[in-house]
Amino acid sequence: MDTLIAVVAALGAACAFGVSSVMMFLAASRAPQEDVLQLRLLARLSRNPRWTAGVTLQAASYGIQAVALAFGPLVLVQPLAATDLLFALPLLAFVRRQPLRRRQLIGAFLVAGGVAAFLGISPPTQGLVAPPIRAWLLPAVVVGVVIVVASGAAMRSKGNTRTTLLALAGGADFALLDALSKSFVGLVRRDGLALTLLRWEPYALLCVGIVGLVLSQSAFQSGPLAVSLPVIDTVEPTGAVAIGALVFEEHVAASPALLAVQLCGAAVALLGVFILDRSTLIGEESTENDRRSRGR
C-alpha cells in the first residue's frame, strides 16, 4: 500500500509541476535581463497573477511530492516525478487546439517505458530516515560547487549558453531539495513536527528552496523553455537518485546485469524527456514570448 501511495502521489506531483513550470515560464520570460540571479526578480514576478498562480501550483506539487516521499524511497519517487511533461504537453496541445505529433508521442512512450524498466527490474527499497549530517557533506559540496561555477559562468555568458548554465545550477539545487524534502517528511512522520523543527533539516530545506526558485526563474527569464527544461528534467532526477543511493542508502539493482538494464532504462527515459522538452509546443511558446519581448 505504501508503494501505491508513493507512485500515485509522485505522478500527481509531476502533473502539477509540469503545468506550473509552463505558467511560470510565460511570466518569467518577460522579466528584464538585469534581474537575473537577483532576489528582486522574485519580487517583480510576484506582482504577476500568472506567475503567482504558477508558483502556488508548484508549491502544491512539492507538497504532493512530500507525501510520495513519506511513503516511498527517493529513487522510486523522483523518476516518476520527472515525468512532468507527460502531463504538461497534452494540456498545451488542448489549449492551442493542436494534436500531439508523432515525435511527442514517441517521447512520451520512451519516458514511460524507460521509467517502467528502471523501476520494474528491481524495485527500489527504503533506506535511512534521517541520515547523519556527515553523509550530507559530499552531495552538499558537489551541489554547491555546481551552483557557484555554473552561475558565475552564466553571468559572463549570453543567450542559450546562459540559459543552459542557469538550468544546470537549478537542476542540481532541486536534486538536493528533493533529498532534503525526503529527510524532512521522514522525520515528521517518525518524530512529529515539533521535534523535527528543532533539527537543521527544515531550515536547510527553506534556504535551498529559495536558491532553487531564484535559479529556475532566472533560467526561465533568460531564454526559451525548450533550452532550460531538458537540463532541469535531466539533472534533477539523476542527482536525486544518486543522493538517494549515497545518503539514504537506498538500494537499486543488486546484480551488475540488472543494474545495467536499469541504467539503460534511465537513459531511455532521459532521451524521452529530452524529446518532449524540445517539443514544438514548447518551442512555439518560447518563440511567441521572444517576439513579445522584442516588441515591448
pLDDT in tens, 207-248: 999 999 889 888 888 877 777 877 887 888 889 988 998 999
With DSSP H G I counted as helix, E B as strand and the rest as coil, what are the percentages for the chain, rounded to 5?
80, 0, 20
- Hey, what's the cell of 117? 524498466
Would residue 158 be called left, alpha or beta, if left means φ above 0 and alpha means ψ between -120 and 50 degrees? beta
Note down the domain range covering 205.
2-294
249/87: higher pLDDT: 249
C-alpha 58/C-alpha 60 separation (Å) is 5
First to last CA, the chain: 53
Please write down the long-range contacts of 200-208, taking CB distance under 8 Å and 24 or more positions apart. 200/133, 201/130, 204/180, 205/177, 205/180, 205/181, 208/173, 208/176, 208/177, 208/180
Instruction: Decide if pLDDT at 145 tops 80.
Output: yes
Q: What are phi and psi of 238, to 5 degrees?
A: -65, -45
pLDDT of residue 107: 82
The candidate with the shortest Cα–Cα distance to 215, out of 144, 282, 269, is: 144
Q: Tell me how far CA of residue 254 lies from CA of 38, 122, 217, 289, in angstroms.
A: 45, 8, 39, 48
Helix-then-strand count for the chain, H and E: 13, 0
In residues, how long is the chain? 296
pTM: 0.80
pLDDT of residue 283: 54
pLDDT of residue 119: 76
| DSSP secondary structure letter of residue 100 | P
Confidence bin at 33 (pLDDT 50/70/90): low
pLDDT of residue 295: 41
How many structural domains compose the chain? 1
Under a CB-based contact definition with an 8 Å cutoff, are residues 238 and 270 in contact? yes
